Structure 1
C-alpha cells in the first residue's frame, strides 16, 4: 500500500489501463508497452516525486523508479489487473526495437538469480585462491553446484522466459529446453562415429546417432543461449498452426504432443547445430575485434556503456557475453564495461560534495549507494544526465577504465554480482592466473576517483532553480502543493455566494466525518444555487433540498442545501432542473428562501461533497474565506 498512490498516478499518466498493452520491470525501470505513446503525460511523470525520469527506447515507454521498482510494479499489476507476462510488440514496431525488446524480455527475469549464482561461484573461487577451500572438498563441490546450477541448465530457464515473450505453453517450452541438456544424449558421443558430415570444413561434424534415418549432430547445449531461443521461436509458429487444426476437446494434450515431436527433433537436426555454428562465429568475431586492440575496444565499450544503458542497447551485448562464457569459459565484452558504474558513482560523489542544492544532495546519497553496487540508472537519470557535464565526465572516466581493463586482459569468468561484488567475476573458477583481480580493483578505484576529479574540476550548473517545484496554473493541468506536483482531474466552481466553512465544522456527522466524501461547505448569503460543473443531473430530491451532479470528467458531486431541510417538504425551494438534464457551469439549478429556512429553525450551511473522492488522490479545497459563484472551490487531483 506504500506505493499505491504513486502506482495509480503512473497508470493514469501513461494513458490509463486501456492504453497499456503490457508492463514489466527490470532492476530500476517499469517497462510499458503502450498502444499510443502520445497519450502519456511524459513531462508530468518526469516531475513526479518517486520517479527519476522517463525514456522511450527499444519500443518501450520506460519509467525509471529506482531500487524499489518491484514494489511499485506489484502495485501497478494489482491496480490495473495486468498479466505479469509479456506480450508481443505491436506490428508497427521496427525490427531493431523488436530485437531489443525480445532480448530484454528473455534475459531480464533471469539476471537477479544469474547474478546471485555467479556471486556464489565467484566467492567459491576466491575461497580456493585464498587457500580456505580445496576443489576436492565437499563444501567447494556443493557451493560450485549452486553456482553452476542456473547457467548449466540455462536452456530450461530461457525456455520459460522466452515462452512468455513468444506465447508458447510454458511447460512445453521447458520440456524443449530440458531435452537439450538431457544427460544421456551427451554420453552417446563416446566411441567411433557412424560417419562424419562436412568433412574438411570448419563445421566438420561426427554423427553418432540418427533419427528416422536422418543424421543428428550431437553438441553440448549446456549453458547455451541461441539454440533455445530459436527453438522456442519455431515452437511458437508450430503451436499457432496446431491451434487452428486441432479440435478444442483434445487441444490440451495434442498440441504439446505434436509440438514436442516436431520441434525437438528439428532442434537437434537443424536448429541447434546451425545456432551453435552461428554462435561460434559471433564469439570468434568479438574475440577478433578484442584481440586487434583490447585498449581501443575497452575505450569504446567503457566510454559508451552508460549511453548503451540509456537506450537499452546493452541488452544486445548480453547474449554475446553469455555465448562467449558458454564457448570459451570467459568473456571480455562485459568485462570492459565494468569500470563505467564506478566512474558514474565518482561523478555523483563530486556532485554531492560540490552542490549547494539541498534536494540535489538528498538525491545523490541513494544514487551513490546504488552505483557502488552497480545500479547506475538513478545516478544517470536523476543527476548526471540532467546536469550534462557530470555525465560526459563519467563517460570519459569509464572509457579510460575500460581501456585499462583491456590493457591488462581482464575477462569475466562468470556473470555474477554488480559493482563491488562484481570483482569476483574476474576470478577464474578453475584456477590459473588470478593476479589481474588486484589490477581490476585498482582500475575501478581509479575510475571512481577520475570521475570525481573531472566532474569536480569541470563543474556543473543548477539542477533545481528553486528547492520546491513551482506550481503551474490550473489551465495547464498541473497543481503544486509544497514540493509535490499533481495532475488536475477536475475543477469545481462555487455553486453559491457566501462564507466558506470547513466540512468538519458542519453540524451533521454524516458530512463532518467525511463519510459522504471529501469536500467543503458554504454559508450562503444569496438563495441561488448554480451548477459548479458542466455535466448531468443524476439525482434531485423530491423536496428539492439536495441535488447530485456528475461532471463531464466523472466527478460525482452532492450538494445539500442546509441541515435537516428535508423536513420542509419542498417549501422554500424552487427547482429549475430535473433528473437527467444536461447542465453547464453557472446554470441556475435551485432557488431557495434563506429567511424561510432560518425562520423554520434550520441552518442554511450547505455541504458540497465529492461522493467518489476515494477514486482520486486528493480533493484540494479553497483557502478563501468568502467566495462567489464561478470562483474555484475545489480541485480534484490524481
Structure 2
C-alpha cells in the first residue's frame, strides 16, 4: 500500500477530528498529537485508527483527544498547522452565558474526570522535558562507559576541570529540573509560566542555598548525631524557615504551582486588565515565594521523602515482591500516562538517597516490551509484511537506543491482544531475576536503553535480567505469533494478492474477495490479469482493435481523487478488481461514470456494474464494507438492465449514516477487465466535480 503524503495525512486527521471548526487547540508531545476539541463525540476514532501513519488514538474526558503518531509527530503537527484551514491555530468561539455555565458543569462529568485531570497535570509538567532528560541520561551513560573502561574516575572528588565541566552538562538538567517543571506546570494551568519558574528559582539561588550550613546571622545549624545529618533553620522576620537544597526536587514545584494558579487567577479578578501585567506577577511573587520557602518547600520534601522511604522499605523487606511488581505495573501505567509519578520518585531517590532502586526493575519491563517488538519484527520479515516490518524496525530502534516504549506500545502491542500476555511473561522473568539477585541500583536518572546499561550496578545482574526479559518476550511472540491462525492466513493471502498485482499478475484466492464483489466481477470478463496486456480467453471485447482513442471515465461523485494504493481495503488496493481510482466524496450524489448498460445493481445499493458498448467493464463501489449496512442510507434510482448515459443519477447516499455506522465513505471506480486493456490511467490528486474525467482507458 502506498504511504500517504504528509499533506494527505494531515488533511485526513483534520477531517477525522471533526474539521478545523471542532478544534479549540492543538499541541504535541514526544509521540502524540493532543487535541482539545469543542465536541469530542465528533472525532471518528475508527477512521483515525485506520490511517497509515497513526499508531492509535486515546479519547479522554473533557473533550480531549490524543492521536499517537510516534517519532514523526512534530512533522505531522507542522503539516496540520500549515493547512490553510488551520491558519488561526484553532477556533475558540464566543460562548453565551448558558454555554459557559454548561461547560463548567460538564467539567465534572465522568466518575474519574478529576483523576484524569490530575494525571494530565503530572504528565504535561514532565512530558516536554523528555528530550533533555534523554540527552542528560545519554551523557551520563557515555561518562559511565568511560569510567568502566578506566579512562576516568567518574565518581572521584578531585576530578579535573574537564570532567567537572562534563558533569555540568547533565547536572544542569537534573539540578534545575524544579524550575523547568514549574514552568510547564504553570503553562498547563494557564497562568504565566515565567512566574512559576521565578518563584521556584528564588529558593534555588546561591543567596538562598548559601545559607545552608553557613554562619550567616540568624541561621542555626544542628547535627543529628545518630543519623549524621544536619539541618539548617533561618529566622526570617522572626519566623523559623527550614533551609533545603531544592535541586532535583519535583514535588515542590508541582505543589507550589497548584497553589500559585489559585493566587494568580484570583489576582487577575482583583486588578483591572490595564494594570495586570505589573501587579499580578508582583503580588504573585510577593505571596508565593515566602509561601514556598516557609511551607510548601518543606512539605514537598517531606512528601517526596515519605514516598521514597515507603518504597525503599518494600524494596528492603520484600525485594522480590518489589522487583516483580514494578515491571508488571508499567505496561498498564505507560499507555495511560500514569507512570510519571514513579519517574518523579526516581528523581527524589537520587536526590535524597544518592541512588535509585526503581529503575533497575523497570528495565525488565522496557526490555520485555522491546523483546516483544523484536518478535514482531522477525515475524514480519518471515511473512514479508512490509508495513509491519517498517513499524517494528522504527519502534525497536527507538526502544533499544532511546529507551522509549511508546512507539512499540501504540504502534504494535495495543493493536494485537495476543502480545500483552507474552510481554508480561518477559516482565515477570526479568523482575524475578532482579529480585533473586538482590536488586539493581543506579546513581543517575537514565532511560533504560542499551546505551545506559553501564549506569546500573551491579551491571552484570542488570544485563542478565534485561536479557532474560527481552528474549523471553521475543521467543513467546515469535513462536506463538501475535495473530491468530485465521488472521495470519488472511493477512498472508492479502500479501500474496498485493505481490501478484505488483508483478502484473492476479493470484487472489476466491475467499479474499467479498461475495458482492465476486457477483459484480461476473458482469462480463473476470478481472484475471494476463501478462503482456493481452486479452484473456473468453473476455468481452477481445475482438476490438488494440489501438483506439482513449475512453474517458467520469467521476461518479464530486470530491478528492486518490489512488487505489491509498484505499483502506486490501482487495481494491491490490488491484485484484482492476485499476482505477478512489474518491473521497463531497456529497452523496452518485452518477454514471460512462455510457453503457447496468449489468448489475447490488440489492444493498452500494455497488453498480456497467458494461460499455465496446466491452469495458466498470465497477462503481460506494464506501468500504458498506454491504453490511443492508441498504440503509442508500436510495437507489436505477435497476439492472437499464441503459445509462454519463451523468445519469444512480443513487443518493446518506454519507452521514455511513460514517455513523463506522464505515469509510470513499467511493471506488475500477475497470474490471483491466487485463484486456493496453492501459488504464488514473488521474489522482485533484478535486473534481461529478462528471469530470478521472480515468483514461486505452485498448
TM-score (norm 2): 0.65
Displacement of 1:164: 0.9
CA distance in 1 between counterparts of 2:10 and 2:45 reads 15
CA distance in 1 between counterparts of 2:323 and 2:218 reads 43
Which of 118, 122, 130 lines up with 2:149 in the alignment? 130
**Root-mean-square deviation over aligned CA pairs:** 4.2
**1:71 aligned residue:** 75
Which of 345, 356, 360 lines up with 2:383 in the alignment? 356
Deviates more, 1:38-47 or 1:144-153: 38-47
Q: What is the CA deviation profile of residues 588-634 of structure 1, one whole-angstrom value per residue up to 9, with x for unaligned ones?
A: xxxxxxxxxxxxxxxxxxxxx999939x9x99966598xxxxxxxxx
**1:277 aligned residue:** 302
Which of 400, 410, 414 lines up with 1:372 in the alignment? 400
Contact 2:183 2:197 in 1 (8 A): yes
**1:456 aligned residue:** 478
CA distance in 2 between counterparts of 1:132 and 1:611 reads 59
CA distance in 1 between counterparts of 2:287 and 2:281 reads 10
Instruction: Structure 1 unaligned segments of length 5 or more: list them.
Output: 427-433, 501-524, 535-550, 554-608, 626-638
Instruction: Structure 2 unaligned segments of length 5 or more: list them.
Output: 91-103, 499-511, 518-555, 569-581, 598-642, 657-682
Contact 1:168 1:239 in 2 (8 A): yes
Contact 2:364 2:427 in 1 (8 A): yes
**1:154 aligned residue:** 177
CA distance in 1 between counterparts of 2:260 and 2:114 reads 20
Counterpart secondary structure, 1:482: helix
**2:47 aligned residue:** 44
Per the alignment, do residues 231 and 450 of structure 1 end up closer, same or farther by CA in structure 2, a change over 3 Å counting?
Answer: same
Q: What is the CA deviation profile of residues 410-455 of structure 1, one whole-angstrom value per residue up to 9, with x for unaligned ones?
A: 12322234421232442xxxxxxx4x11321232222222212222
Q: What is the CA deviation profile of residues 25-75 of structure 1, one whole-angstrom value per residue up to 9, with x for unaligned ones?
A: 333222333343321111111111111222335875332212211211222
Q: What is the CA deviation profile of residues 137-193 of structure 1, one whole-angstrom value per residue up to 9, with x for unaligned ones?
A: 222111101110011111211121112101121222221121121111122232496
**1:185 aligned residue:** 208
Which of 26, 29, 32 lines up with 1:29 in the alignment? 32
CA distance in 2 between counterparts of 1:528 and 1:28 reads 47
Displacement of 1:297: 1.6
Displacement of 1:480: 8.7
Displacement of 1:195: 6.6
Per the alignment, do residues 382 and 275 of structure 1 end up closer, same or farther by CA in structure 2, a change over 3 Å counting?
Answer: closer
1:71-470 aligned within 5 A: 71-79=75-83, 80-81=86-87, 90-92=107-109, 94-134=113-153, 135=156, 136-189=159-212, 190-191=214-215, 208-354=233-379, 356=383, 358-359=385-386, 360-373=388-401, 374-406=403-435, 407-426=437-456, 434=457, 436-460=458-482, 461=484, 462=487, 465=491, 466-467=494-495
Displacement of 1:532: 10
Displacement of 1:351: 3.1
TM-score (norm 1): 0.71
**2:567 aligned residue:** 484
Counterpart secondary structure, 1:335: helix
**1:563 aligned residue:** none
Counterpart secondary structure, 1:317: helix
Per the alignment, do residues 489 and 342 of structure 1 end up closer, same or farther by CA in structure 2, a change over 3 Å counting?
Answer: farther
CA distance in 1 between counterparts of 2:377 and 2:61 reads 32
Is 2:687 the partner of 1:613? yes
**1:592 aligned residue:** none
Counterpart secondary structure, 1:313: coil
Per the alignment, do residues 455 and 196 of structure 1 end up closer, same or farther by CA in structure 2, a change over 3 Å counting?
Answer: same
Contact 1:331 1:413 in 2 (8 A): yes
Per the alignment, do residues 257 and 105 of structure 1 end up closer, same or farther by CA in structure 2, a change over 3 Å counting?
Answer: same
Contact 1:193 1:207 in 2 (8 A): no
Deviates more, 1:489-498 or 1:381-390: 489-498
Per the alignment, do residues 154 and 82 of structure 1 end up closer, same or farther by CA in structure 2, a change over 3 Å counting?
Answer: farther
Contact 2:349 2:355 in 1 (8 A): yes
Q: Count residues in correspondence.
A: 515
